[in-house]
Amino acid sequence: MKHFLSIEDVKDYKALIASALAYKSNPFVDKTLGQNKTMGMIFLNPSMRTRISTQRAARNLGMEVIVFNLDKEGWQLEFEDGAVMNGTKAEHVKEAAAVMGQYFDILGIRTFPGLINKEEDYSEHYINQFVKYAGIPVVSLESATLHPLQSLADAVTIQELRTTIKPKVVLTWAPHIKALPQAVPNSFAQWMSHWDEVEFVITHPEGYELDKKFTGSSKIEYDQEKALQGADFIYVKNWSSYKEYGQILNTLPTWMVTKEKLDVTNDAKVMHCLPVRRNLVIADDVLDSSNSVVTQQAGNRVWAAQAVLSEILKYS
């Protein structure tokens, strides 16, 4: 694997899930694989889980890690080709990324979307320029449209908790007060639609359809209760509209996932990428119950990242 920007970079996703679970059983088996190598983790946006779990993963493989909060500590970056840099942006990505390529062996980067210009966000304008100019493997720590490290950890969690041959996995939209990116649901839909061992359904109010590029032929059900019937896993997430780009079309409190809604499921495991707003997105009676697997899911971020980094170290 050269880069890890989406599932498209993965040759064998089932083997990658198995590798993550093997690292979970034996975290230090490859503790010298990354010896004398350094990973740079560049953040243009906040993070807790991605920041900590990826560092843990890199260190389990013997790597050094340098974390740099570019948004707060770096020069403001210019991304436009041919820009006359007479404003507030002091450094062009062409130099910044190239310099990082000199310091690091692997570059992880988080760049959220602006949610204003759909074409710009969906072209992955920012992360692609780091790929172009850094000259080293780049790992997405969440980009404008995708969060593949999260999705791999999600798949790992489903794999270890599944009790049926083909579990029903439902991605449900839930309300939120802020306009959030589509990266997590896009990515989850992309991974689930590749996985032939799950029955995947997406449910959301009309107007919240995701980009078909990521959902493929996944089933869409606009009635949440119908969608949840017989579910083995419920993945809860808010996202802003893709059609009316970046807009909150409604905040429908009836879409919050409550304990009562689990009655029609197969005692479903409830997942969320975190952070989650309690009693807005998911009710306390779910998050505090044994149905919630959000902590285990977040824990699996370490093993997912370790599987990805080891593939890059071995094969890039």
User: Which parts of this chain interact with ligand CP (CB under 6 A)?
Assistant: 47-51, 142, 150, 273-274
Give the residue from 191, 164, 163, 210 showing the smallest Cα distance to 273: 191
* Gap between the Cα atoms of 256 and 254, Å rounded: 6
Q: Which is nearer to ligand CP, 50 or 306 (CB)?
A: 50
CB of 260 to ligand CP, least distance (A): 26
Output 5 or 92, the one with its CB closest to ligand CP: 5
- Residue nearer to ligand CP on the CB measure, 265 or 306: 306
Nearest residue (CB) to ligand CP, 78 versus 233: 233
Alpha-carbon distances of 269 from 156, 231, 255, rounded to whole Å = 14, 9, 17
Q: CA-to-CA distance for 169 and 200, rounded, in angstroms?
A: 5
CB 9 within 8 A of CB 137: no
d(CA 115, CA 77): 18
Least separation in angstroms between residue 130's CB and ligand CP is 18
Locate 49 and state its tokens: 């889980």
- C-beta of 110 vs 204, nearer to ligand CP: 110
Q: Taking the complex as a whole, how short is the minimal distance between the CB of residue 55 and ligand CP, in angstroms?
A: 11
Q: Report, in Å, the least distance between residue 135 CB and ligand CP.
A: 26
Least Å distance between CB 32 and ligand CP?
28
Strand arrangement of the beta sheet that strand 138-140 belongs to: 64-68, 38-43, 106-110, 138-140
User: What is the C-alpha separation between 86 and 279, in angstroms, rounded?
Assistant: 47
